Amino acid sequence: MKKTLLLSLLSVVFLQWSCTDQCTETRKYKRFTAVTVSLAEMRQSVRTETARDLISPGKIYTKGNYLLINELKEGLHVVDNSNPSAPKMISFIKIPGNGDMAIRGNILYADSYADLVAFDISNPLDVREVGREKEVFLNGQFDGAWWSLNKSTGAINDQRVDIVTESVKVNCEDGNNGFWGGRVVFDMAFQNSASSGSSANPAAQGQAGSMARFALYDKYLYTVGQNDMQLFDISVPQKPAFSSKINLGWGIETIFPYRDKLFIGSTTGMFIYDNKNPEKPEQLSVFQHAMSCDPVAVTDNRAYVTLRSGTQCNRGLNQLDVVDITDLRAPRLLKSYPMQNPHGLGVDYPNVYVCEGIHGLKTLNVANDFDVKQLQHLTGMDAYDVIPLSNKTLLMIGKDGLYQFDISNPSNLRQLSKIPVKRVAI
């Protein structure tokens, strides 16, 4: 009798402990939903609209007093940036499936899923489509989700990515709190952008960041995809025409034009191409590194390469490589510096600005290749890519918005303005 009563009491105690000793944990994750977009719908949706809020910014591009901010897969925000302390959103160019852009004169080139589209941007309040090269991009990636062109159905097979937040009950006594380890798990990658460099008339074109996949040189637009580089003849600016394709292997990420050379970043290394004959770029060398995401920025005889780990970069390294490119056929690593999670970067020699993702923005002095010094580390922002301008203004895009800094004193950047992201509850 006593034994039965004792077992009963122990059972009650166990049930009460298992039911009440619970904690609430917040989990964030990406939810992928299949989406189909017809080519006809995609092409008919292009238009200029009134300005809208930033929701999911991608890359940035600047020309003159204007700034373009990509809204992932939606189009481009047009910003009057004549006063960096008070930028004004003035219009929005709706371009389904947009991720990249480049500008020569008054012509904007932008991808719209499978198509390359040319726009006349003479009037930023009334941007007009003037040319389109159809079905030249077969697939791509936005925010970790792949899309592909299905020619037989005339449609784009895409995925919508939603960030889902859930509150769940977990066992407080479990030190690991299960698979999630009691932490918020959240990774949201950005894709793409680029340009600096020169052309037949460099002043006529704009400037982008190190994450670019579009670049201009002479009468050609170069675009890199996962496996190749495509050349488009823009000798008639309003009518881009496919010219040729160069296979680059796999894992291609970014392109950075500098003088008459092309520097192409991939997950396994940096390709260097001689572009003296713009119609037929010639590969000079490959600087190989460990498996990591890899944008690059160049000045004179130095290339600065950031390597980072992450969802799409496998178990890569987190570091900055300083590479001697005096001999373009034999690039040589001078030294590597540990970083936290570097993304895009920009050079305003002797300083390099490195985006560290959720860890913010760093200013590095690289005057001495073997003794790179950190001058400042700004936190409280999620930095993706930067563009240093000749007027000592730094543009920085991140998940929480567009920042502009006065970099006259590289050891003490002064924030001029911010266009914030509007948070949308899911």
Alpha carbon 112 to chain centroid distance?
A: 16
pLDDT at 231: 98
> Could you tell me how many residues make up the chain?
426
> If you search the block for the tokens 């600016």, which residue do you land on?
237
HSE-up of residue 325 (Cα within 13 Å, Cβ side): 27
What integer pLDDT is reported at residue 163 of this predicted model?
A: 73
Q: What is the pLDDT along the chain (426 residues), one digit of tens a residue?
A: 444 444 343 444 333 434 445 677 777 677 889 999 999 999 999 999 999 999 999 999 999 999 999 999 999 999 999 999 999 999 999 999 999 999 999 999 999 999 999 999 999 999 999 999 999 999 998 877 889 999 999 999 998 887 777 777 766 544 433 322 332 222 222 223 333 443 445 457 899 999 999 999 999 999 999 899 999 999 999 999 999 999 998 889 999 999 999 999 988 889 999 999 999 999 999 998 656 667 999 999 999 999 887 655 555 689 999 999 999 999 999 999 999 999 999 999 999 999 999 999 999 999 999 999 999 999 999 999 999 999 999 999 999 999 999 999 999 999 999 999 997 655
What is the reported pLDDT for 21? Answer: 56
What structural domains and CATH numbers belong to the chain? 38-141+188-420 (2.130.10.10)
Do residues 404 and 414 lie in contact, with contact meaning Cβ atoms separated by under 8 Å?
no
Residue carrying structure tokens 């993706």: 384
Q: What integer pLDDT is reported at residue 294 of this predicted model?
A: 75
With vertex at residue 395, the alpha carbon angle to CA 391 and CA 398, rounded to the nearest 5 degrees, is 170
Residue listed under structure tokens 């952008």:
193
Cα angle 163, 59, 198 (rounded to 5 degrees) comes to 165
Cβ neighbours of 264 (radius 10 Å): 28
Residue tagged 């590969």 (tokens):
283
Q: What is the pLDDT of residue 190?
A: 24
Predicted confidence at residue 11, as pLDDT, reads 44
Exposure string over 180-211, b if 16+ CB within 10 A, otherwise e: eeeeeeeeebbbbbbbbbebeebeebbbbbbb
Q: Contact, 137 vs 114, CB < 8 A?
A: yes
**369: CB partners within 8 A, 6+ apart:** 302, 322, 324, 334, 335
Predicted local confidence at residue 168, as pLDDT:
72
Q: Max alpha carbon distance in the chain (Å)?
A: 98
Number of neighbours of residue 286 by Cβ within 10 angstroms: 16
Please tell me the predicted confidence (pLDDT) of residue 230: 98
Exposure on the CB side of residue 324, measured as CA atoms within 13 A? 10
**Closest residue by Cα to residue 383 from 179, 141, 190, 221:** 190
Contact (CB, 8 A) for 234 and 227: no
